[in-house]
Amino acid sequence: MDKHYKIGYTQGVYDMFHIGHLNLINNAKKYCDYLIVGVNSDELVESYKHKTPVIKQEERRIIVANIKAVDECVIATTLDKEVAWQNLHFDVIFIGDDWKGNPRWEKTREEMAKHCVDVVFLPHTDGVTSTILRSDFGNKVIE
């Protein structure tokens, strides 16, 4: 990708922060001057994933805010990127390419294009997710 953006945005749960999260954030920062990261609120996660994050929202926000590539970190209370754009005025949204072709993200791409906002799919880190970590921890005795 050759295009460079002024303000980028990415959003996620970032529960049990892992290398896949870091790779996405660092990759996104390569393409923008200022990177805003939305950390999904506990209530939002519970509403669409039907599970409670292991790490509470404020602790997740603090972890993400302390990453060198992150210029601003906010608590996200909606999955609606139109609302996020109205509040944050970014010109690109970054998401993992594992979402490419997903109907929700295709619709998001169309809606954001009306505001001249691009949706850029970045490489997903295979083999690690918070769900996998959660299940692995559930099977291990921690001393």
Q: In the chain, where are the structural domains located?
A: 5-138
In the chain, what are the helix, strand and coil shares in percent, each to the nearest 5?
A: 40, 20, 35
| The pLDDT value given to residue 126 | 76
- Edge-to-edge order in the sheet of strand 5-12: 72-76, 32-40, 5-12, 92-96, 118-122
**Domain covering 5-138 assigned CATH 3.40.50.620 in the classification:** yes
C-alpha angle 70-13-39 in degrees, rounded to nearest 5: 45
| Predicted pLDDT of residue 2 | 77
Contact, 141 vs 114, CB < 8 A?
A: no
Residue 127 has pLDDT above 70, yes or no: no
Q: What is the DSSP letter of 99?
A: G
Is this prediction's pTM over 0.75?
Answer: yes
Residue ranges with strand state E in the chain: 5-12, 32-40, 72-76, 92-96, 118-122
Across the chain, mean pLDDT equals 91
Q: What are the tens digits of pLDDT across the range 4-36?
A: 999 999 999 999 999 999 999 999 999 999 999
